[in-house]
Amino acid sequence: MKTLIVMLVLLVGGCKTQEQIQREQMVDNLAVQIVEGQKMSADYTVKINEVQERLNELQGKVEERGYLKSQELENQNKELNEKISIIEEQLKLLKEKQDTQAKDINAIKDLQEKQNQYLQKVLKTLGSKKKAVRKRKGTTAQYNEAMNLYRKGKYAASKNILIKLSENKKVSGKTRAHVLHNLGMIAYMDKDFETAKTLFSKLFTEFPKSSFNKNGLLFLGKSFQKSKQKEQAKQVLEELIKLYPKAKQVKEAKLILKKI
């Protein structure tokens, strides 16, 4: 009997309903899905971790680059500040140098002013002495002084004495011829061609045999040329060549004639 009951129980237990079977299948399917879901979750977790690690790595590189860039900018800023400090120091030294130079210049100006004042006094004294000496000088001394000044190129000073000598009736002969010649040369150099023509013409008419006429006629012709009086210039230069064919002035006279 007991054996029969056990068998009946086992039989009843072994005979599952269709609903139970479906439920068990659903449970199995859910279990499988859960397992698969857990696997996928694990895979996603791994991928997320990998992505997170990559992000962390990138973040580290960005921070490192930012730090390096910051250091570079800081170094550049430091370098610029050092250069600015050097320039400011140089400007300071330059300013000090300029101030010193300005003081030196002012000191030199003061010294020059004092020297000029002293020089003016000396020149004034010398001028008064020269006037006193000149009054005592005779015609010969004045002539020698005028010629000496002329040779040194001090034409204005020489001219003043030569004019007085030309107005002195006691001055005659070769001395007067020389005075007229040098006055004519000074007038020519001053581009006062009208006065030059008058003086050189006077030299030739008053002293036709004077050796100064070799140069006098040349510059008389040049004075006419400068005054655009070509025909007169031509006549004078031809007269020079005729009277003094061997004179050194003839060469220049011929060259001028070719241009007229």
Q: What is the pTM of this model?
A: 0.49
Q: Return d(Cα 79, Cα 76) in angstroms, integer.
A: 5
Helices 173-189, 213-226: inter-axial angle, 10-degree rounding: 30
pLDDT of the residue at 86: 85
Range with the largest mean pLDDT of 15-29, 72-86, 225-239: 225-239
Taking the CA atoms of 44, 46, 47 and 52 in sequence, report the sign of the dihedral they define.
positive
Instruction: Supply φ then ψ for residue 16, to 5 degrees.
Output: -80, 150
Residue where the block lists tokens 């899905």:
33
* Strand residues in 47-146 grouped as ranges (E): none
Residues 30-67 have pLDDT tens digits of 666 666 766 776 676 777 777 677 777 777 776 667 66
Q: What is the mean pLDDT of residues 77-101?
A: 78
Q: What tens digit of pLDDT does each residue of 205-219 get? A: 999 999 999 999 999
pLDDT for position 14: 45
Q: Residue type at 79?
A: E
* Positive or negative torsion for Cα 61, 62, 63, 67: positive
More confident residue, 179 or 100: 179
Closest to 250 (Cα-Cα) out of 232, 231, 229, 236 = 236
The more confidently predicted of residues 195 and 7 is 195
Task: Evaluate whether 168 touches 140 at the Cβ level (below 8 Å).
Answer: no
Under the phi-then-psi rule, with left for phi > 0, alpha for psi from -120 to 50, and beta for the rest, what region is 229?
A: beta
244 and 250 Cβ atoms separated by less than 8 Å: yes
Contacts of 15 (CB under 8 A, 6+ apart): none
Q: What is the pLDDT of residues 124-180, one digit of tens each?
A: 766 655 554 444 458 999 999 999 999 999 999 999 999 999 999 999 999 999 999
CA distance 255 to 246: 15
